[in-house]
Amino acid sequence: MRKLLFKSLYWKISAIFLLVLLLLGIAFNFLTLFSAEMYFQEGNQRLHREFARFIADLLQPYTRDTLEQSEIIHVFEQVHTMNPSVEIYLLDEGGNILSSSTARENLKLDRVAIEPIQRFIAVDGKQFTMGEDPKGLHKEKVFTAAPFLANGKQVGYVYVILGGEEYDSALQFIQQNYILRLGVRTLFISLIAAAIIGLVSLGFLTRRLRRMTNVVTAFGAGDLSQRITIQSDDEIGMAARAFNQMADTIQRHVDELAAVDSLRRELVANISHDLRTPLSSMQGYVETVILKNNSLTGDERRQYLQTILDSTVKLNKLVQELFELSKLDAKQTLPKPEPFSLTELVQDVSQKFQPQAEKNSIHLEMQFDKDLPYVFADIGLIERVLQNLLENALKFTPKNGRVAVFIELVDAKLKVHMTDTGCGIPESDIPNIFDRFYRSSRNRSRNDGAGLGLAIVKRVLELHDENISVESSEQTGSTFTFALPIFHK
């Protein structure tokens, strides 16, 4: 559990966040301290700008003939007593120390760099400059300086280090005890405030991620109804939306698979049933013929053999249709479109059914203009469509009925209407008649088909990117309508 806790994104981001906060705080504190010190030193230098000149003026009486060292040192000591934070030096023009307010043995340098002093004097002390401190090696300090004249001629410089050693520690004391403490306290308070705000808002963000993970895990475990509630349009919201879309797609595919599976089961059941009936009838009659071979009259024998033949034909038709449908489904039979005359094809097919129509005293007629354009489709497959539709029309139309085929040109397509004055299809059956093995319950007794004819028709037209529709009433009969594109030269 502990391991998991520190592995979590929340803790990782929090650690980085706190570290950045800490570094920023430290950097800020140093910056504040440094700039406070610089600001202080610059102020100090400006305040004491005239101080060196004042001392140089004080020294004037002792420069008449030779430099009176003891007097000069006396003056230095007096000034130092009045202002212990300063160290005063008299330098020659090369920067060598001639006299100083501090005992010689306490000095670490005999000579200081002259350039900063010249720079300071050139800008009249108006620019912040640091110079060498003879009492401390490698440490620069703020200073004030002025030319030192003897008999009106420059012979060196008065060089005053502002803030000597004692002053140094006093400054440190102030820093440590005031600025630093204030800085650290401020830093500490702002760190805590920023950390609390940051951690709480991070907590909210990662809570959404954790919720998402829970949903995804539940989905992965098989609960396909799980969806993420989308709360915002940010990156997390987008990820959630993408997951929901993916989940919808998976759900749809699973549903489709389940539907296909149940259809497959249904098909197998239907096929076995449809094969079993004619087969057992054949078996029964063949057994009878064998058993009663000698006692059968010639008429009986013919009648039994006829029944066996009918069953064989039925079986053959069923197997043929199944084979055709499976080839259409597997896209083994792809339409090979070519231009042909639909009117001629309709006439050919009708002619084949003419004897059957006459047998049932059904009037089979065709209505279309002679000069209709060619259509562009697979002639073999369209012939099958016409055959199946005509076969049904004739099958379901009673004696003295009428079956008609109309063809008209509509929107660059030839529209075919196959109308009969048959028994019609109950409205509740219409959505299903194009399904495999569907036979209207009302007609089942008089229907010897397997319920595959219209499924083949629909599939063929689908492969031509076309549709078939049906209008039917139990009083007037049915009309099936489909269209085929005309051929453009």
Give the one residue of 156, 183, 278, 453 binding ligand ADP; rule: CB under 6 A: 453
Q: Do residues 100 and 133 touch, judged by C-beta distance below 8 A?
A: no
45 binds ligand ADP (CB under 6 A): no
95 binds ligand ADP (CB under 6 A): no
125 lies in the site for ligand ADP, by CB under 6 A: no
Interface pattern 342-381 for ligand ADP (x via CB under 6 A): ----------------------------------------
Figure out which of the listed residues 72, 117, 318, 423 binds ligand ADP, where binding follows CB under 6 A. Answer: 423
Q: Of 95-103, 139-147, 388-396, 406-414, which segment contacts ligand ADP by CB under 6 A? A: 388-396
Alpha carbons 469 and 335: distance in angstroms, whole number: 21
Q: Is residue 450 a contact point for ligand ADP (CB under 6 A)?
A: yes
If one counts every other C-beta atom within 10 angstroms of the C-beta of residue 142, the result is 23
- The amino acid sitting at 149 is L
- Least separation in angstroms between residue 447's CB and ligand ADP is 5
Nearest to 357 by CA among 423, 416, 301, 403: 403
Contact 353, 393 (CB under 8 A): no
Contact 320, 326 (CB under 8 A): no
* 352 vs 446, beta carbon nearer ligand ADP: 446
Q: Which of 422, 459, 461, 484 binds ligand ADP (CB under 6 A)?
A: 422
Which of 357, 451, 460, 483 is the binder for ligand ADP (CB under 6 A)? 451
Query: According to CB under 6 A, which one of 454, 468, 483, 486 is a site residue for ligand ADP?
Result: 454
Indicate whether 478 belongs to the interface with ligand ADP (CB under 6 A).
yes
Rounded to 5 degrees, φ, ψ at 408 are -140, 155
Interface pick for ligand ADP out of 439, 482, 484, 486 (rule CB under 6 A): 439
In the set 148, 157, 159, 396, which binds ligand ADP (CB under 6 A)?
A: 396
Q: Which residue has the tokens 């997951």?
A: 243
Q: Which two tokens stand for residue 474?
A: 């139990």
Shortest-Cβ-distance residue relative to ligand ADP: 449
- In the complex with ligand ADP, the residue whose CB is nearer, 99 or 388, is 388
Min. distance of Cβ 419 from ligand ADP in angstroms? Answer: 9
Q: At what angle do helices 298-329 and 453-463 cross, to 10 degrees?
A: 30
Q: Which of left, alpha, beta for 331 (phi over 0: left; psi -120 to 50: alpha)? A: left
# residues near ligand ADP by CB under 6 A = 23
Among 101, 318, 440, 486, binds ligand ADP (CB under 6 A): 440
Crossing angle of helices 9-47/180-220, nearest 10°? 160
Binding residue for ligand ADP, selected from 120, 449, 459, 482, defined by CB under 6 A? 449
Interaction of residue 76 with ligand ADP, rule CB under 6 A: no
Is 206 near ligand ADP (CB under 6 A)? no
- Give the Cα separation of 50 and 227 in Å (integer): 81
183 or 422: whose CB is closer to ligand ADP? 422
Task: Give yes or no for residue 420 binding ligand ADP (CB under 6 A).
Answer: yes
Q: Which residues contact 81 (CB under 8 A, 6 or more apart)?
A: none
Taking residue 346's Cβ as centre, other Cβ atoms within 10 Å add up to: 21
CA distance 489 to 477: 38
Binding to ligand ADP in span 307-326, by CB under 6 A: none
- Are the C-beta atoms of 358 and 397 separated by less than 8 Å? no
**Gap between the Cα atoms of 99 and 92, Å rounded:** 10
* 428: nearest Cα among 482, 477, 472, 480: 472
Nearer to ligand ADP, 129 or 478 (CB): 478
Q: Which is closer to ligand ADP, CB of 128 or CB of 438?
A: 438
Residue 218 CB, shortest distance to ligand ADP, in Å, is 44
Question: Can residue 72 be called a binding residue for ligand ADP (CB under 6 A)?
Answer: no
Residue 240 found at the interface with ligand ADP (CB under 6 A): no
Task: Determine phi and psi for 251, rounding to 5 degrees.
Answer: -60, -45
How many Å apart are CA 353 and CA 391, to the nearest integer? 8
Interface with ligand ADP (CB under 6 A) = 388, 392-393, 396, 420, 422-425, 433, 438-440, 443, 447, 449-455, 478
